[in-house]
């Protein structure tokens, strides 16, 4: 398979601009079903709102399943303040300081969308002395809505209410040096890679050795995206999600990360060895790593009792759940390992 990183980046750009915080992913799932229809891939949607695509293989008695998730971090309106600004409740595991100053959209029940900025209530430097020392938390952080709101009543009359979803603007950019930076690379970078792999399989009529399912999950950030709707024939389950970068981590922005263990415990040793052997055989840049504060859809499936061999790989993402960045080399290495895996015997 010839990996086209330009296409992967193009898919990423489209995906990150579709608001899809956990709990409000319908638009992103619709984008995926349209893609599957265009490429003549059979699929079904689940009651939880995910989508499972299936490509038949030569062996239909034992199946593989790969998953990536379109749901992202986000927030909900928790309170409408008397001055017309909004307090938030977070969706997903991240810190308040990572969204300070971010532009956002408020999605109302009627379908109307308002723009705003997430900021400290005490932001004016000419008014609030020592503002830099205040805690970034649900009490001090607010949304300044871009409307002439003077009171809580003004906000309510405009149709904004408690429980409305708030999405963060992605700020997508690609550098001439090959870096891709944007919010929501976790996990839309991996979704884009799977889209590219699926398209290559269909375009070039590649015959897979095993029937393979592609689960696009929509609740991973809140812990239960891929723990159900696993076909009973599934033997191997590979989550494609981000590799975490930081002090003490082996993962970088240029290779594919193969996870040995996360907060849910070790991944299947045999599958991990198989992935490492494939990377070495095909000269694919990789790193093996451990993520202490991480849980994937594969972990969720195991915890739910799925009788599967489970693994986790993905592109290295710097500043995860914050100001995310990766490189086209990592995207390429991840896509190449997925293709090599799909064409290989079971681990």
Alpha-carbon distances, residue 203 vs 35, 40, 60, 110, 326 (angstroms): 13, 10, 21, 40, 27
* Separation of alpha carbons 197 and 2, rounded Å: 10
* Separation of alpha carbons 8 and 86, rounded Å: 36
* Separation of alpha carbons 21 and 75, rounded Å: 7
Whether 59 has a binding-site annotation, put simply, is no
Q: Two tokens at 203?
A: 């375009």
Asked if 151 contacts 82 with a C-beta cutoff of 8 angstroms, the reply is yes
Whether 71 has a binding-site annotation, put simply, is no
For residue 107, give the 3-state DSSP assignment: strand
User: Active site includes 220?
Assistant: yes
Whether 164 has a binding-site annotation, put simply, is no
Annotated catalytic residue, options 173, 220, 236, 280: 220
Q: Report phi then psi at 244, rounded to 5.
A: -90, 135
Whether 241 has a binding-site annotation, put simply, is yes
Whether 17 has a binding-site annotation, put simply, is no
Q: What is the end-to-end Cα distance of the chain in Å, rounded? A: 21
Q: CB neighbours of 262 closer than 8 A, spacing ≥ 6?
A: 290, 291, 292, 294, 295, 296, 299, 312
* Separation of alpha carbons 23 and 81, rounded Å: 24
* Separation of alpha carbons 68 and 98, rounded Å: 23
Asked if 88 contacts 77 with a C-beta cutoff of 8 angstroms, the reply is yes
Q: For the chain, percent helix, then strand, then coil, each to nearest 5?
A: 25, 30, 40
Q: CB neighbours of 10 closer than 8 A, spacing ≥ 6?
A: none
Q: Two tokens at 340?
A: 């090599």
Q: Two tokens at 178?
A: 């090959």
Q: Which residues belong to the active site? A: 220
List binding-site positions for Zn(2+): 69, 186, 221, 241, 321
List binding-site positions: 69, 186, 221, 241, 321
């Amino acid at each position: 398979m010839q990996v086209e990183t330009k296409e992967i980046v193009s898919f990423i750009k489209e995906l990150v601009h579709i608001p899809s915080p956990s709990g409000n992913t319908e638009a992103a799932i619709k984008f995926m079903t349209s893609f599957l229809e265009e490429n003549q891939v059979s699929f079904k949607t689940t009651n939880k709102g995910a989508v499972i695509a299936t490509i038949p293989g030569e062996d239909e008695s034992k199946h593989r399943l790969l998953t990536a998730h379109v749901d992202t971090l986000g927030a909900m309106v928790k309170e409408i303040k008397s001055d017309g600004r909004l307090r938030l409740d977070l969706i997903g595991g991240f810190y308040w300081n990572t969204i300070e100053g971010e532009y956002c959209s408020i999605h109302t029940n009627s379908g109307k969308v308002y723009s705003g900025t997430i900021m400290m209530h005490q932001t004016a430097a000419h008014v609030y002395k020592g503002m830099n020392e205040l805690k970034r938390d649900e009490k001090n952080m607010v949304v300044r809505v871009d409307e002439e709101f003077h009171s809580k009543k003004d906000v309510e009359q405009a149709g904004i209410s408690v429980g409305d979803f708030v999405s963060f603007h992605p700020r997508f950019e690609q550098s001439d040096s090959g870096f891709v930076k944007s919010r929501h690379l976790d996990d839309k970078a991996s979704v884009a890679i799977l889209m590219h792999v699926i398209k290559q399989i269909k375009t070039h009529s590649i015959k897979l050795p095993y029937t393979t399912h592609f689960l696009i999950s929509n609740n991973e950030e809140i812990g239960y995206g891929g723990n159900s709707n696993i076909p009973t024939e599934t033997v191997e389950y590979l989550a494609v999600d981000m590799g975490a970068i930081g002090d003490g981590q082996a993962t970088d922005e240029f290779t594919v990360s193969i996870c040995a263990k996360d907060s849910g415990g070790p991944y299947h040793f045999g599958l991990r060895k198989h992935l490492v052997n494939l990377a070495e055989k095909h000269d694919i840049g990789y790193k093996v790593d451990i993520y202490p504060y991480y849980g994937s859809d594969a972990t969720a499936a195991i915890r739910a009792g799925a009788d599967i061999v489970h693994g986790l790989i993905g592109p290295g993402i710097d500043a995860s759940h914050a100001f995310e960045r990766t490189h086209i080399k990592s995207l390429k290495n991840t896509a190449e390992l997925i293709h090599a895996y799909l064409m290989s015997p079971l681990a």
